[in-house]
Structure 1
Amino acid sequence: MRVAYRMLGSVADAEDMVQEAFLRWMRTDRAEVREPEAFLRRTVTRLCLDQLKSARHQRETYVGSWLPDPVVEDDEPDDVTLPLMLALERLSPLERAAFLLHDVFGLQFEEVAAEIERDPAACRQLAARARSHVREARPRFKVEKERGLELAEAFFNASRSGDMKALGAMLSADVSAHADGGGKRPAAIAPVFGFDAVIKQYETVVAWLQENRSQLVRFGFINGLPGFVTLEADGELQTTALDIEDGKITAIYVMRNPDKLRHLH
């Protein structure tokens, strides 16, 4: 699941890939398998590479901003945070696989080569190209867990109470706001960049929230970023994740697409 989800950014698709790998495992003569873990990981990786070809077409026709399915945990899982997953979207499927298998999961290039059916030198080049593309998206330092959750709580309280002064004090000058409604729930079609633009957007959001109250479900880490889950007035869940740097919020990621929230119910 960890490999498949990070390859695809979709919980449902990752589950499908793992299910298909399990079926293939059941049909395999396991006496012939020397390393079950390597066999399963290789099967999942290759299934994901095939899936990414069709996923790319779906992303091209997607309504509004695309964000990966939210995974909610009590602690930061690793450094594969939401911004890094978005950066991975810009890579080719093979670059993505080489980077994840080597840089994230710690496989040697000889092992990566066997997984994606390329020679080790080619895998080294794929990973190097990927690394140069995603370097800026990797967290330069981790936000202390308690501090991150404190900021998430403060952001929730300010956005729900309408305290724009408190809200503005948390935002960096180059903050951005991203919302994924998938064309199924109201959400901004394009990301909003810059302090003034984000504040203006949240003035509208806060006014709407005064009429359509949301209920806090829990605080936690959404794809490695501090945030919270809410139950909105329409009966659907929503996740909000905050990218934080130097004590300020540099990006806000809101997931509203019900298809991507179904697993959280």
Structure 2
Amino acid sequence: MIELHRLTKRYGDTRAVHDLSFTVAPGHVTGFLGPNGAGKSTTMRLILGLDAPTSGTALVNGRPYTSLARPMREVGALLDANAVHGGRSAYDHLLCLARTNDIGPRRVAEVLEQVGLAGVARKRVGGFSLGMKQRLGIAAALLGDPKVLMFDEPVNGLDPDGVRWIRDLMRSLAAEGRTILLSSHLMSEMALTAERIVIVGRGRLIIEATVAELTTRYPTLEDAYMALTASSVQFGVSS
């Protein structure tokens, strides 16, 4: 489980995340939505200990990420598919990550097969398309077989088959009882993938609801998103 309690992050005079509280529970995909600059990426970085909060807490399974002895075994994340060493092969990239968390090479081969990269495992990542890098980032997230997974725009660069593959993967992982937090701007895809939705605007929580609840109130998830985020701007939510 992911739990945020009154999480706040300031960068100088800029408040990227403000008093943000929500929970991401296991067993379903939780979509994380908001306009550009809403604080989604900052929130995910705070959960992963990449930034320190100004105040409040972000917990994974009841503990801060930075306190986890073998974090990849508890949390897997894809935030930036391009954050890889272009001179390494896909296999070597994953093997380096695996060794930091006492994960064996057999698991590296397994996740490369799972994401469809087994045939290019020994090729340098620098020659990969963005879609292939996304698959490699997903392989890295799955490496420790974690119960909590976070993905930021994982379908970028993927063709329609790849997008469907991501959708099926997210749903199957949730069906196994894992906790999935998925950030994306593709409303149509989110409507097909997520069961719960968290929408933020200007660093604040706008709504936390199920897709079914939102599509009962609005014609589509996209309509719900547009109406709810427009309201947050209209009422001058503090940044």
TM-score by length of 1: 0.26
Q: Which has the larger radius of gyration?
A: 1
Structure with higher RCO (Cα < 8 A, 6+ apart): 2
Q: 1 or 2, which has the higher strand percentage?
A: 2
Q: 1 or 2, which has the higher helix percentage?
A: 1
